[in-house]
Chain A
């Protein structure tokens, strides 16, 4: 019995170490499954995918979240990818919503589920410059639903336009802002360019 109790304590300690890591790092909930190759990709499915990431937080360099409507780690240090908190960053959210490949030369449609931890190869500045086979630059005046506006430091996708000439933008803006839909005027901001994904099917 004594040995059993000692071993029980050791086992709890081992499991406890793992539990501490899980508590401090949301990424232990995430997976690295292969994406699902798809033949279709509609703009409203993109709206649904990005909308579902609302409230799930922001993580610099991140791309993994669940659907519980809470940022599990809201107080991570900004700009630190090692905090491994919940949420995407701006380019990670865009990459996953646009169903892109981690290979820049592939322009197919790859569906990454929320808990699949992937950021993709692109920074906001890459998107702005149309880097990658699936991406291209568009005139800002023509940007529509699920196209995006990108600067050297940020990218947000058009959820829909609005009456006063701005846009409702779905974006992972910053650690404190989280991921949400905000009214923005990126369209007329010279630091932002228009960018879009090839291959929408409806």
Chain B
């Protein structure tokens, strides 16, 4: 064996070093592709809860949270902003700078609407432009700005409905169980995802046609199931499998409102023909959605941070994000051209109004001694308004169904929540004709119950 020469040792060391350095450089390039320290932080975000329905004399304080990239010192954003406000719903806006407060629990940036504007008989309308002073970025809330501002309306001579202290002992039994689907992937079954450790998700949503046909969104199995007269028909849908909301339009078009997920971080509305073939997919204007409904022009979505109903399509054609934002309204649009506006105030009050244009034509103020949760449904039935809301304590919860008339509550009963598996947040109830339908689940499977309402006068 020959002793190695110094030149050979140097050459070998140089080669080893060059190889490692070269390899590390290649590795760094590949990790750069998945993100490395120093890459840009997410952009500007905001939140605001508009005072949509106000009582006489109630101060109108507008509060905003400005959410920006995290600061190295851990402090809150260096933000600023201004609100553009006007009396009523037409004319020019008055600019009011936002004040930066010490407390961010309800929004650090605030402005009080001048009493002369806030007390306007027709309410006031406004939008805000918020800034991240560190980057110069701005965001408009709601996204439609001057074209589709937030609207605050006087509740007017509201009908008072006092629920008192809720008794959790007497939920009403359903009149009929119209659908019963055990967990599985066969026809007539419903898919179940998740685990005991992470929680389970069942059918995310459903809809009921005028003829009583129940269509279940079985997103776990990538399909819809139509249940009519004891028969089940399945339609394959190309959906992500997330907890989506769902609506069937009168012509059979199926709308699936998808949540963001690991691959698609923005929410999407997917439109399918009745045979399940895709028509179009449209990204929502805002980052978050709460509920999907079908309005007279097509699907419409309650979105955040705008806190408005934004139409996603008109006459079958998808609206781009700008067009959605420019058409934002405070209420869910109804077939008769009116809107229903919902404002859950504080922990135990619900304000509801029916609008014609920007005018309140009738309204209700529901108060409770037991905390109130989410409003699942608020829809007219003839001259009545059917409302389903949750009431809860830290240990229990029940749905309260109210049938409201001009002079008060015509019907009231409780429904037990059967929510073993998770569904979309505001997709538990549907109103069709004179019946209310509930989507529920147990360890055995999913079901839809029907509650027949008293005859409307």
A-B pairs with lowest CB-CB distance, top 3: A11-B19, A15-B23, A188-B373
CB distance from B380 to the nearest CB of A (A): 17
Report how many residues on chain B are interfacial, defined by Cβ distance under 8 Å.
96
B183-219 vs A, CB cutoff 8 Å, 1 = contact: the mask equals: 0000000000011111100000000000000000000
Closest to A16 in B: B23
B283 contacts the other chain (Cβ, under 8 Å)? Answer: no
A176 touches B241 (CB 8 A): yes
Closest to A11 in B: B19
Residue numbers in B under 8 Å from A44 (CB-CB): 65-67, 76-77, 104, 108
Query: Which of B31, B288, B374 contacts A168, CB < 8 Å?
Result: B288
Report which A residues bind B (CB closer than 8 A).
1, 3-16, 18-19, 22-23, 26, 28-29, 36, 38, 40-45, 47-49, 51-52, 54-55, 57-58, 66-74, 78-79, 86, 99, 111, 114-115, 139-142, 144-145, 151, 153-154, 159-166, 168, 174-178, 180-185, 187-190, 193-194, 200, 202
Q: Which residue of B lies closest to A161 (CB)?
A: B49
Q: Is B163 an interface residue (CB 8 A)?
A: no
**Are A54 and B425 in touch, CB under 8 angstroms?**
no
B132 CB → nearest A CB, Å? 10
Task: Among A8, A66, A154, point to the contact of B39 (Cβ < 8 A).
Answer: A66
CA distance A4 to B10 in the complex (A): 8
CB-CB < 8 A to B302: which residues of A? 163-164
Q: Is the CB of B342 within 8 A of A164?
A: yes
A159 contacts which chain B residues (CB < 8 A)?
A: 47
**Of B13, B14, B26, B67, which is within 8 A of A48 by CB?**
B67
- Check B290 against A164 for contact (C-beta < 8 Å): yes
Q: How far is the CB of A59 from chain B (nearest CB, A)?
A: 11
State which of B42, B265, B425 has its C-beta within 8 Å of the C-beta of A51: B42
Q: A43-B104, A163-B52 are in contact. Are A8 and B16 (CB under 8 A)?
A: yes
B38 smallest CB distance to A (angstroms): 9
**B68 adjacent to chain A (CB < 8 Å):** yes
Interface code B346-377, partner A: CB below 8 Å = 1, 0 otherwise?
01101000000000000000000001111100
Asked whether, in the complex, the Cβ of A144 is within 8 Å of the Cβ of B373, the reply is no
Assess whether B241 is in contact with A162, with CB atoms less than 8 Å apart: no
Kindly provide the distance from the CB of B349 to the nearest chain A CB, expressed in whole angstroms. Answer: 10
A165 x B374 contact (CB < 8 A): yes
Supposing A11-B16, A145-B106, A190-B397 touch, asked if A55 and B390 sit within 8 A by C-beta, the answer is no
In contact, A9 and B19 (Cβ under 8 angstroms): yes
B68 to chain A, nearest CB (A): 6
Given A153-B197, A153-B199, A187-B373, A6 and B12 contact (CB-CB distance below 8 Å): yes
When C-beta atoms are compared, the residue in chain A nearest to B200 turns out to be A153
> Chain A interface mostly helix, strand, loop or mixed?
mixed
Is B392 located at the chain interface by the 8 A CB criterion? yes
Considering only CB atoms, which chain A residue lies closest to B132 in the complex?
A: A48
Residue contact A67 to B40, C-beta cutoff 8 Å: yes
> What are 30 A-B pairs at a CB distance below 8 A?
A5-B15, A7-B19, A8-B16, A10-B16, A14-B23, A36-B74, A47-B45, A47-B104, A55-B265, A57-B262, A66-B36, A67-B39, A67-B40, A68-B39, A78-B195, A111-B74, A142-B347, A153-B197, A153-B199, A160-B47, A160-B49, A163-B49, A165-B390, A168-B304, A180-B265, A182-B259, A183-B425, A190-B395, A190-B396, A194-B394
The docked-state distance in angstroms from the alpha carbon of A4 to that of B290 is 64
A79: contacting residue among B197, B242, B305, B307, CB under 8 A: B197
Residues from chain A with Cβ under 8 Å of B374 in the complex = 164-166, 185, 187-188
CA distance A193 to B260 in the complex (A): 25
Bound complex: CA of A180 vs CA of B242, how far in Å? 13
How far does the alpha carbon of A29 sit from the alpha carbon of B32 in the complex, in Å?
Answer: 10
CA distance A145 to B67 in the complex (A): 12
Contact in complex: B262, A71 (CB < 8 Å): yes
Q: Which residues from B are CB-within-8-Å of A78? A: 195, 198
- Return the contact of A42 from the options B27, B52, B104, B291 (Cβ within 8 A): B104
Chain B: minimal CB distance from A66 (Å): 4
Check B287 for interface membership: any CB of A closer than 8 A. yes
Contact partner, B42, options A67, A86, A175, Cβ 8 Å: A67
Known pairs A4-B15, A47-B65. 5 more at Cβ < 8 A?
Answer: A11-B15, A12-B20, A74-B262, A163-B49, A168-B304
Query: How many angstroms from the CA of A141 to the CA of B37 in the assembled complex?
Result: 39
CB of B13 to closest CB in A, whole Å: 7
Q: Does B137 contact A (CB under 8 A)?
A: no
Q: Name the CB-closest residue of A to B341.
A: A163
Complex Cα–Cα for A1 and B343 (A): 79
Q: Which of B102, B242, B371, B397 contacts A176 (CB 8 A)?
A: B242
Bound CA–CA A159/B307 (angstroms): 14
Smallest Cβ-Cβ distance to A69: which chain B residue: B42
A45 to B75, Cβ gap below 8 A?
A: yes
- Asked if B262 contacts A52 (CB within 8 A), the reply is no
Q: Is the CB of A178 within 8 A of B197?
A: no
A182 CB contacts on chain B under 8 angstroms: 259-260, 288, 425
| A108 CB, min distance to chain B CBs, angstroms | 13
Q: In whole angstroms, what is the CA distance A68 to B263 when docked?
A: 13
- CB 8 Å contact bits of B327-351 with A (1 = contact, 0 = none): 0000000000000001110011010
Chain A residues near B373 (CB-CB < 8 A) = 165-166, 185, 187-188
Contact, CB under 8 Å: A10 / B19: yes
Asked if B71 is at the interface (CB within 8 A of a chain A CB), the reply is: yes
| Min distance, Cβ A153 to any Cβ of chain B, angstroms | 5
Docked-complex contact A168 and B390, CB < 8 angstroms: no
Q: Is the CB of B394 within 8 A of A193?
A: yes
- Which of chain B's residues have a CB closer than 8 A to the CB of A14? 19-20, 23
Q: A43–B105 contact, CB under 8 A? A: yes
Q: With A22-B27, A74-B263 as given contacts, are A185 and B42 in contact (CB-CB < 8 Å)?
A: no
The interface centre, meaning the residue of A3, A18, A111, A140 with most chain B CB atoms within 10 A of its CB, is A3
